Structure 1
Amino acid sequence: MEYEYLKETRRWLHQHPELSMQEFETSAFIKRELDEIGVPYDTPLATGVVAYLEGTSDRAIAFRADIDALPIHEENNVDYRSAVDNVMHACGHDGHTTMLLAFARRVKALYDAGQLSVTVYFIFQPSEETEAGANQLLKSYTFSRQPAYIFGLHMMPDNPENTILSKPGPITASATEYRFFIKGLSAHVANKEQGHSAGEALTFILNQLSQLQHYHLPGLRQNIIHIGRFHAGEAINTVPSNGYLEGTIRTYHADDLSVIKEQMTRIAEAAATVTGSAVEVKFSEGYPATINDADAYALMQAASTDTHLTWIEKSEPYLFGEDFAFYSQVASTAFAFLGCRNEEQNYVTGLHTSTFNFDEQMMAGGVDLFSAILTRFEVAR
């Protein structure tokens, strides 16, 4: 019966995707499911839901699912394909939400039987893909009982079903955007010395950015300073008066990010001094690196042995960002990836692709892992 619930719930969510901070129908569905089984909840954000079941002790634990979709047009030829043009659950958040709802049903059965000794929170968080929904939720919500741990799972099509992947320490990178704005002085090419070329400033910035990792950051640490887009100039025969450059920074260490931002500020100042153009750099603060706490990680890894899942410890973290990182501000956290690759059914395409899909049966492993974590937490003192 649980498999049918997993399949039906996931497919309804998959057909009704909503973008970040627009998950009104999704959150209404979640609340209906919780109402049906009698699990109370709070709504700290317009589309955020935090459900809970109170245990008999003062100890608490939390589990999180993200609920938003992506601006991608689905190309899967299935009867449950997205009913919304150019919006799709291409990152598995429909599966994350489904697993947490199924887990809530299991915990409610324990609660009704008088067998729940700890308080359990079920966090249905909006806007993981943009706008740092986790951070917004935590600023708007106070747990009545402070959770000792918060756990999260994410689909991973790079690895086969029935596997769970994680590592101690950093598991995903921080993601910070940067933008250089250049204002030069236009002049005709015949009198180019009368202008200040934004193109010259842009060239200077590009060269300096390419050297930043080599000269200013530890050689044994992995950082990415990615240049995504740049342009300068207006006409073929004039000195460029405007320039622009944007990119993203990925790192696992807060001190490395500080060095990068400081050096970029110096590069902007130097470019202005050398070229005579006005240069400004701005940063859009993204997600911090997700760092697995040692105790939380050990609990999750030990709990996996109580399931049919095969634990795989990664040697290197992922380079993409994940806003689960913010939960470490309020509790010890651990995050892992649930393999969903199934080559027999051709479920092999990656996250954020228009053909991403998975077999709903594999979600039972995620629910089992949450249950095993709760069981081990309850007996620990």
Structure 2
Amino acid sequence: MSHLGFTSIDELAPHSGELSHIRQHLHQHPELGFQELQTSDLVASKLKQWGWDVTRGVGKTGVVGTLKIGNSHRKIGIRADMDALPILEKTGLPYASVEPGKMHACGHDGHTTMLLGAARHLAATRRFNGTAHLYFQPAEELGKAGGARSMIADGLFERFPCDAVFGMHNHPGVEIGTFLFRRGPFMAASDKVYVHIDGVGGHAARPHLCVDPVVVAASITMALQTIVSRNVDPSQPAVVTVGALQVGETHNVIPSFAKMQLSVRSFNDEIRSVMERRIRELIQSQAESFGAKASVDYVHGPDVVVNTIEETDFAIAVARELVGDEHVNTHADLVMASEDFSFMLQQRPGTYLRLGNGTGKRGCSVHNPLYDFNDENLPIGAAFWARLVERYLAH
């Protein structure tokens, strides 16, 4: 036990083997968004075994664990995501996915396990006064149509209210056990754009009789790159990426249509609106200039993750107590990735933090077929969550 009477990493270290077993089991049996049936079974079973009140089916496949100790009216909420990605794993690990085309390539298996580790410890030690709600969320990877909004729509904060809500994600490329925080905006808003270009197909030898969607799509792709460089304030971070361009099937046929998919990221509502307007205008004008037609389906995704100051400062203090100042970065860089935890932060004050997943081979990017969560972080993350609860709900 730490000298302050709150959880230390040393208290969780003896359970590292058990936590690794849980994490690797989850890794071996990944489930996509809103399909987390086995995962939610495991989470609910463990929570019940340790004495938590369990509610299932929150936001479809979500699970909420509740533990009330003492008579305080203070309440805290902590969220972990459970879903995997549609990626074919190539790690070759003994616990690699047994589900072809499905993989825990973002570390949600580790996020779930760290919170389970905290749940076990909190139930055993009971060193707090108030109510802790643990939100095991499905379908984070589905963005705006995913688990956060689904749980909120299912009455998450009315049925399981909290005064503040907290979440965590691993961060490849940073030493394990290093906590990263940022006050205010931290992770980007993310929108998806689906483009359909209608041209006129024909023989490759007679291009003058056609309207070639390959040329149209190529011109749109290059023109899109001017939006950030020429329409967005250089001091404002933003990204437009063409992630998919599908057109044609063989060398001697000019196809009749092309499809494109874009990812658009920003940190500012005004910039977000400017980018949408310019993307729509540019796609239409480029298509028309070649005699083609284009349709644009612009889908707004998660909003900007905005951490509140007081709750971020509180979490920073807990991290410093746990691992020391040298392992806490309080001015982390902006992250262009998105998170549907943003919707929870629109409902309650709180903060979203990141935990280094290691460097070198362990620094492999998320959403990569070679990625694996670093099990050395399991007792660290679990101890942080347990200590955060104890400090927030201190006697």
State the Cα distance separating 1:155 from its structure 2 match: 1.8
User: Does structure 1 residue 117 correspond to structure 2 residue 134?
Assistant: no
> Is the 2:180–2:332 contact (alpha carbons within 8 Å) kept by the matching residues of 1?
no
1:328-372 CA distance string (max 9 Å, x none): 1211121112123276xx634332333333553431111221122
1:171-250 paired onto structure 2 within 5 Å: 171-186=186-201, 196-198=211-213, 201-202=216-217, 204-230=219-245, 241-250=256-265
**3-state SS of 2:141 partner:** coil
Q: What is the root-mean-square deviation in Å for CA atoms of aligned residues?
A: 2.8
Aligned partner (choices 95, 103, 108) of residue 118 of structure 2: 103
> Is the 1:59–1:145 contact (alpha carbons within 8 Å) kept by the matching residues of 2?
no
Aligned residues, how many? 375
Return the alpha-carbon distance in structure 2 between the equivalents of residues 233 and 73 of structure 1. Answer: 25
| Amino acid across the alignment from 1:51 | G
Aligned partner (choices 16, 25, 31) of residue 38 of structure 2: 25
> Is the 1:52–1:122 contact (alpha carbons within 8 Å) kept by the matching residues of 2?
yes
Return the alpha-carbon distance in structure 2 between the equivalents of residues 5 and 187 of structure 1. Answer: 62
Of 267-276 and 95-104, more deviation after overlay is shown by 267-276
For normalisation by structure 1, the TM-score amounts to 0.87
Name the residue aligned to 2:15.
Answer: 2
Name the residue aligned to 1:70.
Answer: 85
State the Cα distance separating 1:110 from its structure 2 match: 4.7
> Is the 2:182–2:332 contact (alpha carbons within 8 Å) kept by the matching residues of 1?
yes
Return the alpha-carbon distance in structure 2 between the equivalents of residues 342 and 200 of structure 1. Answer: 42
| Amino acid across the alignment from 1:250 | R
1:269-313 CA distance string (max 9 Å, x none): 434554443221111322222222211211110111220251023
> Is the 2:59–2:152 contact (alpha carbons within 8 Å) kept by the matching residues of 1?
no
Aligned partner (choices 183, 187, 198) of residue 168 of structure 1: 183
Return the alpha-carbon distance in structure 1 between the equivalents of residues 289 and 98 of structure 2. Answer: 55
**3-state SS of 1:27 partner:** helix
Return the alpha-carbon distance in structure 2 between the equivalents of residues 179 and 278 of structure 1. Answer: 14
State the Cα distance separating 1:52 from its structure 2 match: 1.2
Aligned partner (choices 346, 350, 357) of residue 340 of structure 1: 357
> Is the 2:190–2:301 contact (alpha carbons within 8 Å) kept by the matching residues of 1?
yes
Compared CA separation, residues 236 and 339, structure 1 to 2 (3 A) = closer
User: Does structure 1 residue 150 correspond to structure 2 residue 162?
Assistant: no
Compared CA separation, residues 71 and 275, structure 1 to 2 (3 A) = closer
**Structure 2: stretches of 5+ with no match in the other structure:** 1-13
User: Does structure 1 residue 139 correspond to structure 2 residue 157?
Assistant: no
User: Does structure 1 residue 40 correspond to structure 2 residue 53?
Assistant: yes
Name the residue aligned to 1:318.
Answer: 335
Return the alpha-carbon distance in structure 2 between the equivalents of residues 184 and 198 of structure 1. Answer: 5
Which one scores higher on RCO, CA 8 angstroms, separation ≥ 6?
A: 2
> Is the 1:264–1:281 contact (alpha carbons within 8 Å) kept by the matching residues of 2?
no
Compared CA separation, residues 377 and 221, structure 1 to 2 (3 A) = same
> Is the 1:58–1:145 contact (alpha carbons within 8 Å) kept by the matching residues of 2?
no
**3-state SS of 2:156 partner:** coil
Compared CA separation, residues 193 and 65, structure 1 to 2 (3 A) = same
User: Does structure 1 residue 94 correspond to structure 2 residue 106?
Assistant: no
Name the residue aligned to 1:291.
Answer: 306
> Is the 2:128–2:394 contact (alpha carbons within 8 Å) kept by the matching residues of 1?
no
Return the alpha-carbon distance in structure 2 between the equivalents of residues 289 and 161 of structure 1. Answer: 26
> Is the 2:197–2:258 contact (alpha carbons within 8 Å) kept by the matching residues of 1?
yes
Compared CA separation, residues 191 and 66, structure 1 to 2 (3 A) = closer
